[in-house]
């Protein structure tokens, strides 16, 4: 389906291809890396240059390719990858979308960036995000908001909104995001692309500027499921530089694509019923899967738990940003204490301040037991719910988000409404299990525009392969990825 809006252009035909399509062209000599980068640059100049357009990138005037000389047979040779602004790239400014880190130049590559370069990928551009990944709309960045390629009056989701938007808008072939409570999957849902949050520990977090250390995971955002599997194979694996990295073998995820899902058991939390879910159940049953209701009694508390645990960890992690060692500093302050106060007051945005205050409060003397400790106990119960469910089913199915993309500014005045947009994604982070969002349908109730709706598959720890198996079967049996994966 073609969408008529101000971002529809013919520029950048190569940029509309997937990783595996480009790999085929490289293999038969029909494409050069410089030709692809030129085409991609033209697409970015055409669609991402000013505030009225998508603005998925924060550095579109200075994007430079970073690559290594590796064999052409490498897994991602010549594939440009956009990188979220909270991942370190040596020699480049890394700001997390925050004024307080303006001027900070990373001295090293994140492990995922190293792995991509070693696989032949080209690091090409930094993408916009909610400040320090605090948000679900990509509106809190110090660079201004990113817009949704499906409808420029709507948000792309957050916090990895820039990464999802540039993939959907064909100004990137694929992108790296991070997911603490849905920050890969919810933007993937809003923009009509594929987003994977791997199992906690599956992908190294070394070089990721932390939001909540027990929840953060890095993952791929792509145009289809095959690309996602190829991408994850490159960045997954144990890393001695990350103490939370799991030393668990990584299978070839591409081997799961095309396998039958006959007899696979899929669970649905009983209270969750939406049209796209009902349609997905029909599709999956037609492919031979068995769908059954299951109980996850404690996920009703997931949002409440998350907004105690995540801000508490964030307040601890962000304490290091004080104007002394990193980024922005108020040099006019007459004393050290005032320098701290002025730097943080001017450097952090409103949402970052809100979460730091919430987190500091819940960790403070007299409140730690009542809030943080209690939340951690409920988090354990949520994880136990998933463990019990996975003794009965192979995967769990749910919507990715409770609605399609909302309008810019629509939820800005109501933090609670904004927080609830992650109601379906947060539980997987609390439990540490993998979850994958794929285009699952469209919403027709928003002024005649077809807005994407995501479908979420949640799996057992380190069983991303099963999620790819299910998602690929669903993708091939429908055409949502073809209609929603292309804005042009």
Which residue is catalytic, options 84, 197, 223, 460?
84
To the query of whether residue 183 is one of the catalytic residues in this protein, the response is: yes
Angle among Cα 245, 160, 444 to the nearest 5 degrees reads 130
Do 150 and 443 form a contact (C-beta atoms < 8 A)?
no
Which residue is catalytic, options 46, 160, 183, 362?
183
Phi, psi for residue 443 in degrees, rounded to 5: -110, 130
To the query of whether residue 411 is one of the catalytic residues in this protein, the response is: no
Which residue is catalytic, options 159, 178, 204, 437?
159
Do 260 and 268 form a contact (C-beta atoms < 8 A)?
no
Could you tell me which of 127, 113, 139 has the C-alpha nearest to residue 172?
A: 127
To the query of whether residue 16 is one of the catalytic residues in this protein, the response is: no
Q: Which residues are catalytic?
A: 84, 159, 183
């Amino acid at each position: 389906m073609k969408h008529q809006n101000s971002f529809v252009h013919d520029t950048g035909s190569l940029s509309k291809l997937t990783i595996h399509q480009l790999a085929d062209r490289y293999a038969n000599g029909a494409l050069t890396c410089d030709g692809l980068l030129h085409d991609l640059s033209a697409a970015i100049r055409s669609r991402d240059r000013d505030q009225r357009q998508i603005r998925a990138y924060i550095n579109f005037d200075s994007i430079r390719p970073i690559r290594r000389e590796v064999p052409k047979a490498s897994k991602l040779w010549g594939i440009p990858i956009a990188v979220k602004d909270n991942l370190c790239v040596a020699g480049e400014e890394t700001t997390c979308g925050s004024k307080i880190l303006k001027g900070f130049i990373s001295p090293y590559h994140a492990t995922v960036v190293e792995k991509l370069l070693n696989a032949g990928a080209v690091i090409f551009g930094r993408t916009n995000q909610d400040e320090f990944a605090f948000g679900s709309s990509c509106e809190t960045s110090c660079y201004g908001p990113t817009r949704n390629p499906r409808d420029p009056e709507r948000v792309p989701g957050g916090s990895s909104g820039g990464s999802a938007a540039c993939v959907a808008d064909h100004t990137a072939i694929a992108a790296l995001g991070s997911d603490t409570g849905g920050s890969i999957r919810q933007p993937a849902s809003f923009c009509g692309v594929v987003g994977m949050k791997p199992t906690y520990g599956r992908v190294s977090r070394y070089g990721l500027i932390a939001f909540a250390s027990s929840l953060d995971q890095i993952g791929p955002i792509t145009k289809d499921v095959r690309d996602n599997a190829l991408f994850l194979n490159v960045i997954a694996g144990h890393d001695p530089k990350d103490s939370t990295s799991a030393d668990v073998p990584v299978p070839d995820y591409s081997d799961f694509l095309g396998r039958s899902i006959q007899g696979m058991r899929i669970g649905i939390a009983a209270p969750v019923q939406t049209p796209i879910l009902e349609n997905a159940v029909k599709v999956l049953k037609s492919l031979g899967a068995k769908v059954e209701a299951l109980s996850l009694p404690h996920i009703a508390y997931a949002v409440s738990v998350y907004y105690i645990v995540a801000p508490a960890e964030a307040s601890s992690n962000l304490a290091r940003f004080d104007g002394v060692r990193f980024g922005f500093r108020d040099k006019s302050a007459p004393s050290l204490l005032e320098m701290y106060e002025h730097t943080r007051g001017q450097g952090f945005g409103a949402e970052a301040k809100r979460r730091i205050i919430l987190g500091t409060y819940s960790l403070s003397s007299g409140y730690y037991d009542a809030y943080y400790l209690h939340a951690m106990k409920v988090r354990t119960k949520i994880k136990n719910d998933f463990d019990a469910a996975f003794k009965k089913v192979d995967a769990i199915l749910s919507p990715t988000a409770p609605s399609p993309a909302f309008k810019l500014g629509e939820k800005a005045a109501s933090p609670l409404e904004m927080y609830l947009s992650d109601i379906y994604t947060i539980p997987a982070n609390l439990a540490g299990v993998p979850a994958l969002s794929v285009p699952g349908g469209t919403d027709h109730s928003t002024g005649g525009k077809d807005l994407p709706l995501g479908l979420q598959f949640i799996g057992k720890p380190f069983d991303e392969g099963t999620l790819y198996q299910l998602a690929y079967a669903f993708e091939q049996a429908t055409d949502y990825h073809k209609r929603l994966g292309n804005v042009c």
